[in-house]
Every structure is written in structure tokens, then in C-alpha cells.
């Protein structure tokens, strides 16, 4: 045996949007144990098949006559009990492609229209010790006038339309960032302006 | 009312390492709803107090006579049913500081010794729609000979000690990355070598 074997997968709590599972497994070393995981899936696959992204995470650059702006969001997050500084994001509808979700969520959350998808990450794991959740990071350019009139009433979303200096100042502010947002602002700071890193655009 | 009010917090499943909660809340708009969240905490705070990091996520540069190496890991993750490519990481023991956890986890998972902690992120949220989990990203330098002899038997960990070109090649490989790891390798590619981004070292 060279891989972990999953013996049983038991759903211990089944809420509409999130479920908790207990897995019993055997390591290649023979060590046995149990593992807890949260999932939005009715049955987590646990079979090593490709990650099926549940969500898109958008990094939008808005080109304006005054210069390029980064579109971020300040959104109330119940699990934090506070506002989180991050980017537009959302769950894929059943059967929806990553690019379609990206266009829909950008429009719903910011009123903006995608003009160009410049790069996609692979599906990357949010916190693989805890959950099978993954997301594709979509690096895109957009046009329009930002507004939140298309947001659902249940969302408490404030747009941040930032120039480079404002983004740098925000990263130094003691607020709550998503891990991806903090690293992406550091990435743009390292580029030295609001423009795509060369390594990201390879092959496009 | 300017913020979301949490009415009730109900624990619907209580496993040793992870719990599932259902929250009922009222938005400033008057909209009421329920939210599901997973947490490692017995009682998620949900009161907007500072994030209390549960974990450290280590980005270790190893200085060797042959040049600088990035120390990554390939670790079997039950929730993915597969290996994840990421960095050494671990949970804080009760009362333990971020820096102490970083030194302990680096030693346990890689056999290496921290020589310098160069920068810390703030506590950043892993996936704030789903969980209150947060981690501090610890950018550090280290010395020694990498090995996994200090790992717990339950861990299935393989070290990757990479030069810059090997790291760039890995990022282009269709494997499963943690979101933080994929962004950090893109960050080093943008720097153009295995060295810290200038913006990260400000004030150190």
C-alpha cells in the first residue's frame, strides 16, 4: 500500500450549505486514525480525482482614463463576525463554467463587465487540513462604473476601487484580510504597479 | 443597526478537531438568515475581535553553499484524497506564540532550524465564508540538513528542496496546490529569484 486508504466516510451533520464528515483511514505505515472535514459537497470524493472548483476568486483590474484601479471588497463575514477585505468571489452554479461564473459574479457584486480574462490559476485548495474546498483565481480586466445595486439583499458589500498607492496603504492597515487577498496585494506591490506579473501571462 | 447581529449560535456537530455551527443573524437591512460555519474552536467568537490565529504557515528559505533553496512539502491530505503541494504548517499549541510554533513546526516537519524570522503576515482568513480559521504566514530563513525523521507517524510528508528553476517548473505542473503556496511561488517568480520581496521587509 503506497497511499492512504479511506475505510469509512460518515456524515455527522448535514446543513444545507455545509456538512461535517468523519473519515476513518489507514496510512501506508499501517497507522490508523480518524479525520474531520467540512464540505459543501453531499459526498466528498476523497479519491484523488482532480479538484472540482467550488468557487471563483476574482482579481479585477479596471482600466479608467485616470489610470488602472484594483477592485477589492469589504464584506461582512458571519464566521469572522466582522468585515473581511478581499476580492469579489462566488460559488459556481451547477454546470456553470469558471469563466461564466466569473462574468456573472463580477457583474452581480460590482456592476462591472469583464473585457478580458488574462489568466487562471489551477483549482487551489483553501485549507486542505479542514476541507475539500477549492477555488480558481481568475485574473481579469473589466470596464464600467462600479456599483453594488445588483447585490443580493443578504450581502453586506462595500466596493474598494483603489489606485496603487491606496492598495499599498490598505495592506499596511490592521484589518482582516483573506489570505489570498493579502498575498495578491503583496504580489502587485512586488510588480511595482497595478499590472499583471509577467510569469502569470506566459502562454496567453 | 449598522452591523450584522448574531441571534443564536448552535453547535450541530462536535468532533474533536472540528465542529459545525449554525448561526441565525439579522443584517442591517433587516434581512434575516442562517449561516453555516466550521470551526476548530469550542465557541467561535463572531464578535469582531481580532483574529486569533490557529495556525502558522511557513515560507522557509534555506541558505546553502550551493545557493538558496525553497523548502516546500508534498503531504497527503485526507480531505483532498491526494497529495497537496504546500509549505510546512501547523497548529499553535495552547498559549504558544506564533514564533515558537514556527520554530517547533519547522523542526518537526523538516529537521531544519530557524535562523531568522524575516516577516510575518497579519492573521489572514483561510476561507471566511466557511470558517473562522486564520493563519499567520511566517517568512523565515533556516539552516541544517532537511529530513522528516521528527515527523509524527500519522503524517505522510515528503520534502521538496527546490532551487528557483525547480520552483518555477513545479508551479507549471498539474498537481494540487494550496492557494497560499501557488500565490507564494508566483510571488518569488515575480521577484525573479529566491529572495524576499522588498515590500515584505519594510520596517524590519
pLDDT of residue B150: 76
Is A161's Cβ below 8 Å from some Cβ in B?
A: no
In 3D, which of A114, A107, A87 has the Cα closest to residue A152?
A: A107
Per-domain boundaries in chain A? 5-39, 55-196
pLDDT of residue A52: 85
Kindly report, residue by residue over B80-117, the tens digit of the pLDDT. 999 999 999 999 998 999 999 999 999 999 999 999 99
Distances (CA, A) of B80 to A176, B23, B76, B85, B175: 27, 27, 8, 11, 12
pLDDT of residue B155: 66
Place of cell 467561535: B44
pLDDT of residue A204: 54
- CATH number assigned to the domain covering A55-196: 3.90.79.10
Is A33's Cβ below 8 Å from some Cβ in B?
A: yes
Q: Do A124 and B178 touch (CB under 8 A)?
A: yes
Encode chain B in three state secondary structure. CCCCEEEEEEEEEECCCCEEEEEEEECCCCCEEEEEEEECCCCCCCCCCCCCCCEEEEEEEEEECCEEEEEEEEEEEHHHCEEEEECCEEECCCCCCHHHHHHHHHHHHHCCEEEEEEEEEEEEECCCCCECCEEEEEEEEEECCCCCCCCCCCCCEEEEEECHHHHHHHHCCCCCEEHHHHHHHHHHHHHCCCCCCHHHHCCC
In this prediction the ipTM stands at: 0.95
Residue with more model confidence, B26 or B152: B26
Is A173's Cβ below 8 Å from some Cβ in B?
A: no
Measured in angstroms, the CA of B41 and the nearest CA of chain A are apart by 11
- CATH number assigned to the domain covering B55-194: 3.90.79.10
Contact between B61 and B70 under an 8 Å Cβ cutoff? The reply is yes
pLDDT of residue B185: 98
Distance, in Å, from the CA atom of A93 to the CA atom of A171, rounded to the nearest integer, reads: 32
Is A146 exposed, middle or buried (CB count within 10 Å of its CB: 0-12, 13-18, 19+)? middle
pLDDT of residue A80: 94
Measured in angstroms, the CA of A60 and the nearest CA of chain B are apart by 16
Is B35's Cβ below 8 Å from some Cβ in A?
A: yes
Q: Which of residues 97-136 of B touch A (CB under 8 A)?
A: 121-135
Q: Looking at residue A200, what DSSP letter applies?
A: H
Q: What residues of A are in contact with residue B49 (Cβ under 8 Å)?
A: 81
Is B160's Cβ below 8 Å from some Cβ in A?
A: no
Q: What residues of B are in contact with residue A135 (Cβ under 8 Å)?
A: 179
Q: A interface mutation test: which of B12, B78, B120, B182 has the most A CBs within 10 A?
A: B78
pLDDT of residue B74: 96
**Cβ-based contacts under 8 A for chains A and B:** 255
Encode B82-97 in three state secondary structure. EEEEECCEEECCCCCC
pLDDT of residue A155: 66
Of all residues in chain A, the one with the smallest CA distance to B81 is A46
Of all residues in chain B, the one with the smallest CA distance to A28 is B156
Place of cell 456538512: A19
Kindly report, residue by residue over A146-195, the tens digit of the pLDDT. 988 877 655 678 999 999 999 999 999 999 999 999 999 999 999 999 99
Under DSSP, is residue A204 helix (H, G, I), strand (E, B) or coil? coil
**How do beta strands A89-91 and A113-125 pair?**
unpaired
- Report residues of chain A scoring pLDDT below 50: none
Kindly report, residue by residue over B131-183, the tens digit of the pLDDT. 999 999 999 999 999 988 877 655 678 999 999 999 999 999 999 999 999 99
**Residue of B6, B28, B130 lying closest to A38 (CB–CB):** B130
Contact between A59 and A72 under an 8 Å Cβ cutoff? The reply is no
Q: Do B79 and A49 touch (CB under 8 A)?
A: no
Question: In the predicted model, is pLDDT for residue B53 greater than 90?
Answer: no
pLDDT of residue A203: 64
Contact between B106 and B142 under an 8 Å Cβ cutoff? The reply is yes
Amino acid at each position: 500500500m503506497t497511499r492512504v486508504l479511506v475505510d469509512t466516510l460518515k456524515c455527522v451533520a448535514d446543513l444545507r450549505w455545509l456538512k461535517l464528515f468523519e473519515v476513518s483511514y489507514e496510512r501506508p505505515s499501517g497507522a490508523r486514525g480518524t479525520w474531520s472535514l467540512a464540505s459543501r459537497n453531499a459526498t466528498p470524493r476523497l479519491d484523488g480525482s482532480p479538484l472540482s472548483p467550488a468557487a471563483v476568486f476574482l482579481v479585477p483590474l479596471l482600466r479608467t482614463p485616470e489610470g488602472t484601479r484594483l477592485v477589492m471588497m469589504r464584506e461582512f463575514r458571519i464566521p469572522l463576525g466582522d468585515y473581511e477585505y478581499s476580492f469579489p468571489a462566488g460559488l459556481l452554479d451547477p454546470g456553470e463554467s469558471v469563466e461564466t461564473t466569473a462574468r456573472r459574479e463580477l457583474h452581480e457584486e460590482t456592476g462591472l463587465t469583464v473585457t478580458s480574462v488574462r489568466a487562471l490559476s489551477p483549482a487551489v485548495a483553501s485549507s486542505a487540513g479542514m476541507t475539500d474546498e477549492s477555488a480558481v483565481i481568475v485574473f481579469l480586466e473589466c470596464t464600467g462604473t462600479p456599483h453594488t445595486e445588483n447585490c443580493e439583499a443578504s450581502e453586506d458589500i462595500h466596493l474598494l476601487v483603489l489606485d496603487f498607492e491606496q492598495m499599498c496603504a490598505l495592506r499596511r492597515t490592521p484589518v482582516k484580510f483573506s489570505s489570498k487577498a493579502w498575498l495578491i496585494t503583496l504580489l502587485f506591490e512586488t510588480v511595482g504597479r497595478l499590472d499583471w506579473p509577467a510569469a502569470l501571462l506566459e502562454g496567453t
